Amino acid sequence: MRREPSTALRVLAELAGSFLLCLGIYAFYTVGTAIFGLDMAYLTLSTALIYATVTLLFSPISGAQLNPAVTLAAMLTGRTRPVTGILSIIVQVIGAIGAAASLKFLLPTSDTITNKVWMTPVTNGFGKGAVFNTTLTSVGITFGTTLAIVVELAAGIIIVATAMRTIGRDGRADALHAPAMGLAYGVGAAMAYPVTGAGLNPARSTGIALFARNQGLAVDPLQQLWLFWVCSALAAAIVAFVMIAMQMSREAADRKAKRLAQEAKRHANADAAADGISAAGTRASGVEPGTSGAIV
């Protein structure tokens, strides 16, 4: 029987996983876009690959939740103990901050390539803070708060629901967890990047926001960070509520079926007992069961 990883080991796995995951995302979205441009196919594929790869590495240890939304849903549905969940969320944010700090330190800058150039494609925001805001403004439109909430919430529900489908009640991830999560995050990136820069993970959004502020962006990313946390929390709550409601419905149906089976069994026993009493009474009167009692 496989030994259950300790809480400390799970938390350390979430810390390391969050760091590697966010560093990969930040690198893909900065260096990658500098080379390939804002290509949606590249961004979607790179997001799917980095999430699938890091999830595969750490799923045997912690389930590779790597996202406060997934961890919150796991806590609400009993897949993760509260203490482990809270610590995991804390280290997920710390890992993202460490990744953003590393990126900021490593990226070269010049009079032409400034921090603003690097930070624009990787920082999450909406409205004036959206990656494509300049392009949209030139044609007289903008992606506002409502659309940002809708796409982040929808993408969050897809991601959290996929995670809950591939993480068992004991908190262990099944064999499909890594590819399924890669696919879910890829879909989420395709949906959300034009509107919000594809936050999908509030830890990832927080880490880069701390180092993108005061870099000449149109909007301070910390002022818009609330949306990514609220949408993630709502997505986790919605998925958890649906799962709990479905579980309660199944349990109620099972109890009803069991009660009906017990009642049917009692009725069958009562009928058998009544038949036995009737037969005994007939024999006591000197009439064989199944005869009319007439004398020929």
pLDDT of residue 50: 97
Distance CA 147, CA 125 (A): 12
Q: Is 91 exposed, middle or buried (0-12, 13-18, 19+ CB in 10 A)?
A: buried
pLDDT of residue 283: 67
- What pTM value is reported for the model? 0.85
pLDDT of residue 296: 43
pLDDT of residue 285: 65
Q: Which domains does the chain have, with CATH numbers?
A: 7-236 (1.20.1080.10)
Distance CA 80, CA 93 (A): 18
Mean pLDDT of each 10-residue bin along the chain, 296 residues long: 82 98 95 83 94 96 95 96 96 98 92 88 92 75 90 98 93 93 97 94 97 90 96 98 91 82 77 69 61 50
Cβ-based neighbours of 14, under 8 Å, separated by 6 or more: 58, 62, 65, 66, 71, 88, 91, 92, 95
